Structures are given as C-alpha cells and as structure tokens.
C-alpha cells in the first residue's frame, strides 16, 4: 500500500529567483537584482500547472521582493487553493540582521503579502534556515509580528546552518508559535536531510522516497518537503566566477528535477502546511 493512502505530507515552495540564493550573495549585489532577468514568474506558473494536474495543494513561502513585482502571481497562487506564507522581504539571512532589522523585514513582507492577496499570512520560513543557536530571539520577534508558525530551524549539521539537537517534528516553541522543521530521518543516531532542495536532486530518487516513507511509516509523522522554482529551470543564466562547491550545489541534476517532482507527487499525498499542522496538538518545547 502506498504512503499516499496513509498520511498527508506538507509540500512547500520557497519562492525566490535564481540570483537571490544566499550562496550567490558574494557574486551578485543585492542593489543590482533588478538588472537581472527575472524567471521566477514562469517557473512558479509551471509549478502551479504541475500541482493542478495532480490535484495537489501546497504552501508557497514567498519573498516580499517577488510579490511586490509580481502581484498577479501572488493572486494566482491563492486562487489555486494554495497557502501563501512569508519568506521575508529581501532574502536576508536572519543571522545577518539585528532584531529591529529582522522585525522590519518580516513585518513588511507579511503586510505586503496580505495586502496583495487579501488572505492572512500565518507562516514564515527563514532564508537558508538561518535561525539557530545564536539568534533564538528571532522566535520572539516572529511571535510579535503576528506569525503562527515557522519552518526555519533545520535539525541537521551543515556548514551554513542547522541545529542538530533541535526537535525533528512540529512543536510549540513559543506560546502561540509553532516550529515545523524540514524533515530528517534518524539513522545511526544522526539526523539525515530528507526534505528536498539540493539533497533531493543529489540523492537517487529511490533513496529520497525511502527516507520519506520511514518518516511516515516508522515515525508516523507528516514530512515537510521543500524546493525552489529555479530548481526546475534548466535555462536559467549561469552565474560566473562562483566556486566549485557552490556551482555543484546549485546546478546538480537540475535537468531531472521536474521528472522527480512528478514521481514525488504520485508516490505521496501532499497538502498545505496550515491545514496539516495548525490544528494539530503538539508538545511545547521552548528553546532557550
């Protein structure tokens, strides 16, 4: 019996363009973003088509910067029955911001998305999962800005982010604020990433499928999967001058991503973050 008959997982899309990824920040100046060819609209439109074909709803963590320039795209996301959530305004890592700067970023993004869509924005995902041990004050700031859940703490070891000792599943991290981490699978007392992005493009599909089935079957928990619109865009301009590791992480197996997504949509049942988690009773695990 397929997992899709047993449990609904959360499908999430981080709506940003190829030139906005954190790894490209040293090579592409933020002040020059508007000089680059924007491809996010056509890529999100393709994703909306894929989801409609599979009768699947998802959560779109959308940059305020993108929403400001493509308000009709935001409305089409909502009209498709999907959840609109916040990815902040300018794709700045939380670890690079002061408390005031972070509040202004997330408040501005939330207000902008709500004004365009006419819908309440309840969820937030930090760019590059950049909430960690050194800036847990960000959780209080999210609470103050009116968010109900975050998906910003990745319980793995990574060279740019991660809190490997953080809870693996949805939990109340502050009064009125839930943290819903990207999915990991526990193997040999270590959390392995199994929730999308570059890992999904790098690993053979059968391994990603096995990991998600472990979470659904063994852990009896919904998974949280994420990807970006630029990951299905084989025609995106190639950024010059970047290091080998950055180039590999960004471009590996982009040509096969859309096919893999099709398999993923068929093999599992997917839904919106708010529908899956906000009505769920969760344990309160306040981090310091």
Instruction: Render pLDDT for 165-210 as a digit per residue (tens, 0 to 9).
Output: 899 999 999 999 999 999 999 988 889 888 888 889 999 999 999 9
Assigned domain for 96 exists: yes
Q: What six digits make up the tokens of 207?
A: 């391994």
- How many domains does the chain divide into? 1
CA distance 53 to 39: 22
Assigned domain for 283 exists: no
pLDDT above 80: residue 131: yes
Assigned domain for 110 exists: yes
CA distance 189 to 208: 19
pLDDT above 70: residue 287: no
Assigned domain for 105 exists: yes
Give the pTM: 0.94
pLDDT above 90: residue 145: yes
CA distances from 132 to 2, 128, 156, 286 (A): 35, 11, 11, 13
Assigned domain for 189 exists: yes
pLDDT above 50: residue 1: no
Confidence of residue 283 (pLDDT cuts 50, 70, 90): low
Assigned domain for 41 exists: yes
CATH number, domain of 215, equals: 3.20.20.370
Residue 264 domain boundaries: 3-277
Assigned domain for 134 exists: yes
The string of pLDDT tens digits covering residues 69-121 is 999 999 999 999 999 999 999 999 999 999 999 999 999 999 999 999 999 99
Assigned domain for 288 exists: no
């Amino acid at each position: 019996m397929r997992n899709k008959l047993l449990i609904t997982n959360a499908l999430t899309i981080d709506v940003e363009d190829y030139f906005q990824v954190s790894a490209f920040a040293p090579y592409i100046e933020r002040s020059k973003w508007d000089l680059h060819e924007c491809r996010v609209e056509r890529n999100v439109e393709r994703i909306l088509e894929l989801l409609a074909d599979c009768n699947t709803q998802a959560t779109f963590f959308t940059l305020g910067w993108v929403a400001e320039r493509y308000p009709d795209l935001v409305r089409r996301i909502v009209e498709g029955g999907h959840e609109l959530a916040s990815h902040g305004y300018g794709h700045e890592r939380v670890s690079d911001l002061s408390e005031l700067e972070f509040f202004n970023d997330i408040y501005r993004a939330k207000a902008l998305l709500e004004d365009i869509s006419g819908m309440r924005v309840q969820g937030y995902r930090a760019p590059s999962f950049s909430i960690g041990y050194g800036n847990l004050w960000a959780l209080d700031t999210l609470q103050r800005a009116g968010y109900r859940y975050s998906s910003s703490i990745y319980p793995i070891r990574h060279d740019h982010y991660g809190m490997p000792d953080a809870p693996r599943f949805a939990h109340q991290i502050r009064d009125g604020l839930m943290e819903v981490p990207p999915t990991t699978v526990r193997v040999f007392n270590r959390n392995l990433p199994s929730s999308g992005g570059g890992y999904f493009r790098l690993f053979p599909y059968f391994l990603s499928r096995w990991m998600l089935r472990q979470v659904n079957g063994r852990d009896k928990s919904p998974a949280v999967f994420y990807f970006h619109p630029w990951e299905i865009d084989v025609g995106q301009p190639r950024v010059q001058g970047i290091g080998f590791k950055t180039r590999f992480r960004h471009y590996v197996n982009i040509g096969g991503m859309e096919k893999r997504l099709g398999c993923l949509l068929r093999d599992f049942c997917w839904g919106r973050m708010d529908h899956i988690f906000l009505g769920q009773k969760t344990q309160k695990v306040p981090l310091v």
